[in-house]
Structure 1
Amino acid sequence: MTDQMPDATQPSPLPITESFAEASPANPHWQLFGGGEFDGKCLQLRTAGTSSNEVPGTAFLDQRFSPSQGLIIDFDYATTTEPDVGEGFGLYLINGDHTTEPGSAEGLGYASSYATPIVPGVTAGWIGIGFGNSSRFTGNPSISLRGAGDLTSGFATLSRSSVSDGFNATWEEGAHIQVLLIDGRLSVRRSSTAKPEGEGLLDIDFSELPDEFAMPETLKLGLAAVGGPCQIRNLEVAAVEQPRITVEQQVIGRWEQTYPDNAKGHVVSYTLTLAAREERVVWWQISFDVPPGTRVNPQQTQWYQVIRDGLEGTVVIASPDDKHTIDPNEPLPVGLQLLYPSQAAAGDGTLRNLHATEVAHP
């Protein structure tokens, strides 16, 4: 029995997995541009050409896949900033009915340039995510999301958030990116050996955007870098499996807390409701991201475990025993108070990147 080459005219089945640890990728429909190279250890991406004719290092998978069930995209990376030229890397998705060449270096391989003459962006682009150290795409160290565009039109900036420590990392640091696209929301998380639980970098609701940002029926994926080198390993593009548990949030109250001195601030009280889809869930965790200076209110009492209180940017709480189970048709309410540094920091109280997961027995 012989292996068959994937048909580029047919949607690729998910998951798509590429270790990039061989001289050739598993899927033959990858196209390299600029300083893109499969070196037998990883995917290498760096700019090629002169300053007046930069071509971002790009790897483009010219085979479409369906996002109908939602997508989860994972990869490991390492990157350093060379003086004056290392800028960052990006991931982009285009309409699967089209193919494309790289976008501009100024647009981190996705968008068109600002300068005249305009260097085109990609063809039929849907979204581009820029992970910038000091990039024309993102400004100073930050993550940015560009919207739909085609060649010299579109590519509006939809979101930009500062990332104080940037995206430089060695392989020893275990840097990892995860992009989750489900139910009309896009979220991006970064994790590492030092922070395995990860941190949320981006969270946006596409349902609030104009129709031009509607998700195409099929997509194609590209990875790009400006400057360099950026190295990629262990890419996986997978359909999102339906979780065994879900969580919903509700704000039930808020007030100013003026005592004690070490716990003053604006308190928002929540009920987080856990629901099981089909079978009982015994051991679970809830996690979400909070603004700087926010933590679980030390004045509250609770029956669950507080694994992370929020002062590092993430709250993680978990089941304390095998008695607080989640049963089908019997949701489990979890009361929680957060102490924000101010009412302005609390905003409308929405918890970002809220997830509930089943975990193994502690």
Structure 2
Amino acid sequence: MQEAQFPIVESFTHQAPSNPHWTLLGTARLNGSLELTADAASQAGTAFLDQPFSSSLGVTIDFDYAVEGSSDVGDGFCLYVIDGARTTAPGGHGAALGYSYTKQGPGGQIVAPGVTGGFVGIGFDNHGNFSSAEAGPDGPGPCADFVGVRGCGNEHAGFRWLTGVAVPGGFRASWEAGAHLQVSLLNGRLTVRHSHRGNPNGTLLIDDYDLAGAPGQEQLPATFKLGFAAGTGSATAAHRIRNLTVALPVNMPLELAGPQTAQAGDRITYSLEVQNLGPNDAPDAVVEGTVPPQLSDLEVSCRGENGAACGSSSVDQGLHVPVSLPPRSKATITLAGTIDPAFEGRFTFTGLVESPTRSNVAERYSAAATTDVERPLVSVGYEIVGQWSQTWPEDAQGWLVSYDLKLAAREHRVVRWEILFDAPPHTRLNPTEQPWYTVVDDGTGGSGSVIIRSPGDGHAIEPGTDLTVNMKLLYPSQGDAGDRTLRNLRAMEITRP
């Protein structure tokens, strides 16, 4: 049989699986998701992908789940992989969660065999019997609200308990909670991460466990096949799976930095750094961000290192930056924006890195930066009140734009003030004007800024009453004026020397 190619994607939201090699057995059915059991007693359902996929470069299995019951929630569900050269019937019911064998009775007789060629089964166990002797040897006994790992086994033999950890609250969740599990098998080591909408980076339940070196484990097979299974007894729950992705793992951590505090009208910058720590490449990584609506005049840049290549960036519907990341490469993305001069409060910028063909196994692949914004003692906004071509005198030709700058005092009367903003190259205050205010830098002083200041007397800013300052800016041409935005415009109160 031809191997499945990564990524293997199955939403389970349609009437039939997109891959014809899926087999649904027992109570398993498609009902808007893969429903392994309904919320009813004595059910057992299995979904098995009878098509091999490579294990040589590692594999990561991501999926969303929902487990909801009307009473005591049980038993649980299981994800397992077997040797890809084999095929299998469902494993044992009840405590075995469809992977290992089931023992019952005084003598502990096997009443239902486990899977064929099993390599590992990860049980997400609410009721607690996957860790008991009913499901195989060496377990600690019944442990409710537990994730447990059983190793290699074949029908009536094996399935040793390897490791497990308590999970407060277990695995009960509705779809609205955004519950998600990620299982990675890389270089013979197992990692299990549990996340939800309130904790998108997730919690490591099992961290880099040496599965290949564990007691009773056989050699890592060249290929895997996978299955899901769940069961109920007197304790019941509906166990549902959707949005499955099986892909190559890549470790792409994201770091995000931004200002903790700022003033309204400030121009602020966020920095996002994403790396590829391996083991596989990520040619189609995407860095995305949710930009606060209080930011305008957005600018984004991207710089790649050690072979990373940045694609075409956009901020039309949030930050979107495609990045090709070979192993050991890094990309740094910078987003700049101006805070609404009238805003006061708090906003948050969020970012994440993902890939449509790889599974990101980084401990931190999403991040957020929160900025507290207060209105300054003196704030400034502007409106454009006119623009025209200036053809005389000869040394002052260009495109003239007239701005009304609106100064406002927040708390007290401001007698002396200063306004400054970043001037585009070869742009300056109109040299033919004789303004009533003091010009500290008309844009030609080499600082890259225009700076104007209140005169020695008069023109104070009274709280509750705006002071209008008209300013005419001379651009080299209409094209150079662009959208006529005054970048990094700000105002401040100054004291007398």
- TM-score band by shorter chain is 0.5 to 0.7
- d(CA) in 1 for partners of 2:202, 2:243: 17
The residue type equivalent to 1:99 in the other structure is T
For 1:304-319, list aligned pairs within 5 A. Answer: none
Does residue 1:135 correspond to 2:123, yes or no? no
1:135 is displaced (CA, Å) by 3.0
- Structure 1: which amino acid aligns with 2:165? S
How many Å apart are 1:32 and its aligned residue? 1.1
Choose which of 83, 88, 97 in structure 2 pairs with 1:108.
97
Query: Which residue of the partner structure matches residue 46 of structure 1?
Result: 37
> Are 1:216 and 2:221 matched, yes or no?
yes
What's the secondary structure of 2:88's corresponding residue? coil
Q: C-alpha displacement at 1:101, in angstroms?
A: 0.9
Q: Mapping of 1:280-359 within 5 angstroms? A: 280-282=330-332, 355=363
Q: Give how far 1:215 is off.
A: 1.6
- State the Cα distance separating 1:80 from its structure 2 match: 1.5
Give CA deviations for 1:128-150 in whole Å, capped at 9, x if unaligned: 00001113214211000000000
Counterpart-to-counterpart distance in 1, 2:78 and 2:226: 11
Query: How much has 1:103 moved relative to structure 2?
Result: 0.8
1:199 and 2:224 are equivalent in the alignment: no
Partner residue of 2:246? 237
CA RMSD of aligned residues (A): 3.1
Aligned to 2:411: none
Aligned-residue offset at 1:245 = 3.7
Distance 2:175 2:39 in 1: 23
Greater shift, 80-89 or 90-99, is seen at 80-89
Confirm whether residue 126 of structure 1 aligns to residue 135 of structure 2: no
Write the distance in 1 (CA, Å) between the matches of 2:251 and 2:146. Answer: 31
Larger radius of gyration: 2
- What are the equivalent positions in structure 2 for 1:137-286 lying under 5 Å apart? 137-138=130-131, 139-203=143-207, 204-210=209-215, 212-227=217-232, 228-241=237-250, 244-246=275-277, 277-282=327-332
SS at match of 2:96: coil
Q: Name 2:7's counterpart in structure 1.
A: 15
Asked if the contact 2:195–2:203 (Cα under 8 Å) also holds between the matched residues in 1, the reply is: yes
Partner residue, 2:66 = 78
Task: Give the deviation of 1:209 after TM superposition.
Answer: 2.1
TM-score normalised over the length of structure 1: 0.64
Q: Partners of 2:77 and 2:14 in 1: how far apart?
A: 22
Q: For 1:225-271, what per-residue CA distance to the aligned partner results, in whole angstroms no more than 9, with x for missing partners?
A: 11231111100111224754439xxxxxxxxxxxxxxxxxxxxxxxx
1:208–1:280 Cα change, 3 Å: same
**What CA distance in whole angstroms lies between the structure 1 residues aligned with 2:128 and 2:37?**
14
Letter in 2 for 1:59: A
Distance 2:244 2:227 in 1: 12
Q: Could you tell me how far apart the structure 1 residues matched to 2:182 and 2:194 are?
A: 6
SS at match of 1:14: coil
- How far does residue 50 in structure 1 lie from its aligned partner after superposition? 8.0
Given that 1:56 and 1:104 are in contact with CA atoms closer than 8 Å, whether structure 2 keeps it comes out as: no
TM-score by length of 2: 0.47
Shift of residue 68, structure 1, vs aligned partner: 0.9
Task: Quote the Cα distance in structure 2 between the aligned partners of 1:97 and 1:176.
Answer: 29
Do the aligned partners of residues 188 and 140 (structure 1) sit closer, same or farther apart at CA in structure 2, a change above 3 Å counting?
Answer: same
Once the two structures are aligned, what percentage of the paired residues are identical?
A: 41
Q: C-alpha distance in 2, partners of 1:239/1:165?
A: 30
Q: Which runs of 5+ in 1 are unaligned?
A: 1-8, 248-274, 284-352
Asked whether the 8 Å contact 1:94–1:221 carries over to 2, the reply is yes
Say which SS state the counterpart of residue 171 (structure 2) adopts. coil
CA separation of 1:113 and 1:86: change in aligned 2, threshold 3 A: same
Range with bigger deviation, 27-36 or 133-142:
133-142
Q: Structure 1 92/277 Cα, relative in aligned 2: closer, same or farther at 3 Å?
A: closer
Give, in angstroms, the shift of residue 280 of structure 1.
Answer: 4.3
Higher relative contact order (CA 8 A, sep 6+): 1
Q: 2:211, 2:217 within 8 Å by CA — same for their partners in 1?
A: no
Distance, in Å, in 1 between the alignment partners of 2:203 and 2:367 is 19
Q: Secondary structure at the match of 1:114?
A: strand
CA distance in 2, matches of 1:207, 1:133: 27
